[in-house]
Amino acid sequence: MAPPNPLRPGASSGILLGAVTLPGLAVSKLIQLSRALLVNEIGTKDFEFIRLQYWATSTSCLCVLVFLCFIFLHEFNNTKSVSFNSSWNTKFSISSVALFAALCCLSFAVKPSNGPYMALTLFWIVCHGLAAVKFIQHVLHTFPACASFGEALLVTAGFVVYFGDMFAFTIAKISNHLVSYGLYSITYGVQRSKISIIIQGMLLGLLLSGMLFKFIFKKWEFYMSSQKSEARGHHEPIRSVIFYGSLSFILLAVVPLWMQFVQDFPVHPFLWVLKFVFSEPHKRLSLCVYWVGVIFVSVLRFYNISKNSKIERILLRKYYHLVAVLMFVPALIFQPSFLNLAFGAALGVFLVLEIIRVWRIWPLGSIVHQFMSAFTDHRDSDLLIVSHFSLLLGCALPIWMSSEFNDRPLAPFAGILSLGIGDTMASMVGYKYGVLRWSKTGKKTIEGTAAGITSVLAACSALLPLLAATGPMFTQHWLSLLFAVTVSGLLEAYTAQLDNAFIPLVFYSLLCL
């Protein structure tokens, strides 16, 4: 049987954009850190860590491109389509995971600066590519017609590099704990902050909880299949108990153990979070109250409008981009560390709600699905709704990546400016006043693009003096700023991909150069 069409309807493949975005981001960080290295703002290990990340990212993208070329050539030369679920893929998956784990352990357990270390590190990087190939197969098979190849490639490479880094960091901690047994003590990467460890642990926990839920639920279904039909009357409540039980066990018991192993938390990580929030209670609790108020008013208002108004859904969604500006700009200026933690908490909530919606977990599954369906557009589907994830991550990633060294004051604002200001103004002006279209088949107009670029430049001119007044800052050359804003604006007009995912990363990369 031929596999379902993996491409999102109406979208181009996006392979080129997906293949260059993350390696380009890593190059920009290398250039930025090279400036810091010259003035002794960072150490050599920090620079070497980003260089390793660059090679891992590039290898992941390259291996996926080779795999896609193989698929296209195979389909061109044969009448039968390639199945993403063949026995060859299963063998490839098992061997890739085993090879990745073994080589990762070996490459970080031997003494650096010698031949075996360099060879094993090279193999470890190549294993990122093997894992990326397997993961994009899984994504395209599990969520058909939900993403283009470029979007799937961006998610795949980012996911593999992020969790590969977590795995290697854990191996490094294990080797450091086993020095007395004869293994070499090694240091991998840079020192993580407690907030980044909490976010990493939360994402790892959600991944493990899903796997545990599927395992337990399959065992339970196998047991119930042998029972009488009357005994299976409470299927959904029991399924719900299994899900929430798995989620609670992983997040409250397993994940905190990992956090305390890799990071020296003085107390339980969740108690540390509470202590962190209440360390500045007036500022941070006031910010939470402000966020809750803005979310409640905006969601209630726009949900009613979406049900009763004839306004196009894409314009209604742009109002949420403006809401993101209202929520995130004050916090980023005055409470950046707390905003980092809040982004992680919001991402965790979004992931849990999407899992509940996709798996129809009783009793919230149908309610969440009905509510989220009011905010979808042509880029979402009943199977997977990604727009709210892309908006959140588009605003959060530039801030997370700027949490260490950053000599470009506007770089953390890349997502907020490009999505909250530029993308919103381009859509609204283009919809109401646009006449000259970039292409005969597209909807994006020259007037909208010009409005988006102009609005971002105006926002930057207002933001730079405010940043200078609130603390020390480095210079941001106006010519480089104009180039970054123009290129990202033109890319938004050109691409048919999910721009919430690509534009902030491209804009951030250009700002860091």
- In tens, the pLDDT along 389-425 reads 888 999 999 999 988 778 888 999 999 999 999 988 9
Query: Residue for token digits 């991998």?
Result: 188
Q: Which amino acid is at 464?
A: L
- What DSSP letter does each residue of 384-447 carry, written as one string? ---HHHHHHHHHHHHHHHTSS----TTGGGHHIIIIIIIIHHHHHHHHHH--SBSSSS---BHH
Q: Which two tokens stand for residue 329?
A: 């700009």
**Better pLDDT: 12 or 495:** 495
Cα 116 to Cα 250: distance, rounded to the nearest angstrom: 37
**Better pLDDT: 220 or 53:** 53
Is the model's pLDDT at 263 over the cut of 80? yes
- In tens, the pLDDT along 213-233 reads 877 877 777 766 665 545 444
Domains of the chain, by residue range, sit at: 15-191, 280-512
- In tens, the pLDDT along 122-164 reads 777 888 888 888 888 888 888 887 888 888 899 999 999 998 8
Query: Residue for token digits 């966020």?
Result: 291
List beta partners, residue 445. Answer: 437
Sign of the CA dihedral with 446 first, then 449, 455, and 456 last: negative
What pLDDT is recorded for position 105?
Answer: 54
Q: Which amino acid is at 269?
A: P
Residue 186 — very low, low, confident or very high, per pLDDT cuts 50/70/90? very low
Pair 15, 152: CB distance under 8 Å: no
List beta partners, residue 410. Answer: none
What pLDDT is recorded for position 493?
Answer: 85
What pLDDT is recorded for position 78?
Answer: 60
DSSP 8-state symbol, 185: P
Report H helices in 40-187.
44-77, 87-107, 115-142, 149-177
Cα 393 to Cα 402: distance, rounded to the nearest angstrom: 14
**Better pLDDT: 137 or 305:** 137
What pLDDT is recorded for position 345?
Answer: 92
Cα 142 to Cα 96: distance, rounded to the nearest angstrom: 19
Residue 97 — very low, low, confident or very high, per pLDDT cuts 50/70/90? low
Distances from the Cα of 487 to the Cαs of 75, 138, 396, in angstroms? 36, 33, 21
Cα 304 to Cα 284: distance, rounded to the nearest angstrom: 30
E-state strands within 187-334: none
- In tens, the pLDDT along 334-381 reads 899 999 999 999 999 999 988 888 888 888 888 888 877 766 766 767
Residue 183 — very low, low, confident or very high, per pLDDT cuts 50/70/90? very low
Is the model's pLDDT at 184 over the cut of 50? no
Is the model's pLDDT at 185 over the cut of 80? no
Q: Tell me the average pLDDT of the chain.
A: 79
Pair 201, 255: CB distance under 8 Å: yes
